[in-house]
Amino acid sequence: MMQAFPKTYRLASAGFDMEFGHRTGIMGVVNVTPDSFSDGGKFLSRESAVDQGLKLAADGADILDIGGESTRPFADPVPVDVEIERVIPVIEQLAAEISIPISIDTMKAEVARRAIEAGASIINDISALRFDPELGAVAAAFGTPVVLMHMLGSPKTMQLSPSYADLIGDISDFLDAAINRALKQGISKSKIIIDPGIGFGKTVSHNLLLIRQIQAFAVLDAPILVGPSRKAFIRKLLKDEHSGDITADMPIVETGTQAAVAAAVLCGAHIVRVHDVANTRATIRILDAMKVVRKD
C-alpha cells in the first residue's frame, strides 16, 4: 500500500530555502577521491569534479554533496590537509556558478569550516557529531544545517559482522541521541536532517528492512535522507542476474538503485542521495505524482 505524503519540512539557511515532503529532494554526489566505491578517481581533479557538479545541477539536483574522503567499507582516514586540498577549490568554483546549496561530506570540523567559508551551506556528517568534538560548534556558529547519519563504528570497522538486538529500535535510539547531541551544541532542530545509514554497518537484510521501515523514523520529527545509490547490497542482490563481476557503474546497478530509490520514497524518505540525478529526477517525478495526499 502506498504511503501518504510524509510530513513537510522546511530547510532554510544562507542563500536557500527548500521544502521537502510533497516533493522529494535529490542530493547529487561528487566524490573528489581516488578510492570511493562508486566512482573513485573519476572526479579527483578540480576540473572533472566541477564539470560533474555542473552536470548534476543541470540534471535537477536540489543539493550537491562534495566529499574528499572515501567512506567505503574498510577505508583508511584521510588527513585534514589532504581533504581540504581536494574539496575547497571545487566548492569555491561551484559556489560561483550554481545557485543550489552545496553540502560538504566530512567528519572534520576544520574541513567543514573551510568548506562553509568557500561557499558550502550544509554539513553531511556520517559520524553524527561523534568523531570531532568541534564539528557541532562549527555548524552552530554558521547556522548550517547538518545531516546526522547512523553508522556502526567507523568506515574501517563498520562491516565487520554487523548485528543488532533490534535494528529499527537501535538505529532510532542512535539518531535520537544524535539529535540531542546536536541540540546541546547549539544546532537548531529545524536545521537537522537524519539518515539511517544504508550500507554503513548493515547486512543486505538490514538494508532492505531499513528501506521498508523508513516511516518508523518519522517519530524523530526531522526530514529523512536515504542514500542507497550503487551500494553493495544492490550489487549483491543482482549478482545472480549477471555472469561476471558487477561494478558500481554498470547500468544494471543503476536500475537496481532506482528500485531502491522508489521504495525509499514511497516508504517516507524526504531526500535521496544519488550519483545519477537525471534518472532519479524522472523516477521521483512519477513517484511524487502517485503519492496519496494527506488528509490531516
Mention every residue, 6+ apart, whose C-beta is less than 8 A from residue 159: 73, 74, 201
Residue 186: its pLDDT value, please? Answer: 98
Find the catalytic residue in 46, 86, 130, 273: 273
Out of 202, 231, 235, 291, which one is annotated catalytic?
231
> pLDDT 10s digit of each residue in the chain, 296 long?
455 568 999 999 888 999 999 899 999 999 998 855 555 567 779 999 999 999 999 999 999 999 999 876 767 789 999 999 999 999 999 999 999 999 999 999 999 999 999 999 999 999 999 999 999 999 999 999 999 999 987 767 767 778 899 999 999 999 999 999 999 999 999 999 999 999 999 999 999 999 999 999 999 999 999 999 999 999 999 987 666 788 888 999 999 999 999 999 999 999 999 999 999 999 999 999 887 554 44
Cell representation of residue 265: 520514497
Q: What is the pLDDT of residue 296?
A: 47
Residue 273 bears catalytic tag: yes
Residue type, 94: L
Residue 118 CB partners (closer than 8 Å, separation 6+): 88, 91, 92, 95
Is 281 catalytic? The answer is no
Rounded-to-integer distance, Cα 148 and Cα 143, Å: 15
Q: List the grid coordinates of 172.
A: 532510532
**pTM across the whole model:** 0.93
Torsion sign across C-alpha atoms 158, 219, 270, 83: negative
Q: What is the pLDDT of residue 1?
A: 43
Question: Domain ranges in the chain?
Answer: 23-224
CATH T-level topology, domain 23-224: TIM Barrel (3.20.20)
